[in-house]
Structures are given as C-alpha cells and as structure tokens.
C-alpha cells in the first residue's frame, strides 16, 4: 500500500503560528534567511527573538511537509484517473470488436 508522507507537526506557540500564517511562507523564509528586515511589530518579533526564529523555522518545515503530502495525493489521484480512462477505453474497444461477429 502507498504510504503518505508523514507531516512533522511543529510545536509552535499559537501567537507565533498566527503570525506565520498571516505573513506566509515566502516572507518567513526571507526573514529567516536574513534577506528581509521586517517592518511592523509582529514580523519584527520573528526576526528579533531567536526562540521565535526557531519556531518559525519549524513552522516552515511543517508547511513543506503538508505541501509535499498534498502533491503526492494529487499525483495519486491523477494516476488513478489515468488508469481508469485506459481501462474504460480498452473495455469499450473490446466490446465494439465483439459486436462485429
């Protein structure tokens, strides 16, 4: 059986999680990489405090796992649809060939 990727749930405080969800993955990644000096209290909290930076990094890992799991499930659904279409088309061709006799 196909095993889905396990999502590593981050132990992030609610206030940091809310800030991360509001700002988004791209901005959080830029803040953690040091390429963005944030303006505003909530973004500066993640940039300034090392504990909040660690939590934001854990949150990014969790989001990456969720995105990867979503992609795997979509690919599985696409394969299932493709197999279904192939089976249906081959069965209809066989039935139409039997009608010629």
What's residue 1's pLDDT?
Answer: 45
What's residue 47's pLDDT?
Answer: 74
Report yes or no: 16 and 46 within 8 Å, Cβ to Cβ. Answer: yes
What's residue 98's pLDDT?
Answer: 58
Report yes or no: 21 and 46 within 8 Å, Cβ to Cβ. Answer: no
Which residue is associated with the tokens 């132990």? 11
Stretches where the chain sits below pLDDT 50 are: 1
pTM of the model as a whole: 0.73
**Domain segments of the chain: what residues?**
14-74
Q: Is the dihedral of CA 84, 2, 75, 11 positive or negative?
A: positive
HSE at residue 41, side-chain half, CA atoms within 13 A, is 1
């Amino acid at each position: 059986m196909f095993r889905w990727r396990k999502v590593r749930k981050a132990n992030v405080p609610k206030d940091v999680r809310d800030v991360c969800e509001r700002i988004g993955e791209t901005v959080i990644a830029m803040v953690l990489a040091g390429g963005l000096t944030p303006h505003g209290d909530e973004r500066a909290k993640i940039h300034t405090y090392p504990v909040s930076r660690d939590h934001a990094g854990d949150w990014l890992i969790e989001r990456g796992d969720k995105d990867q799991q979503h992609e795997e499930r979509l690919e599985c659904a696409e394969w299932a649809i493709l197999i279904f279409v192939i089976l249906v088309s081959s069965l209809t061709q066989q039935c139409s060939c039997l009608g010629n006799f």
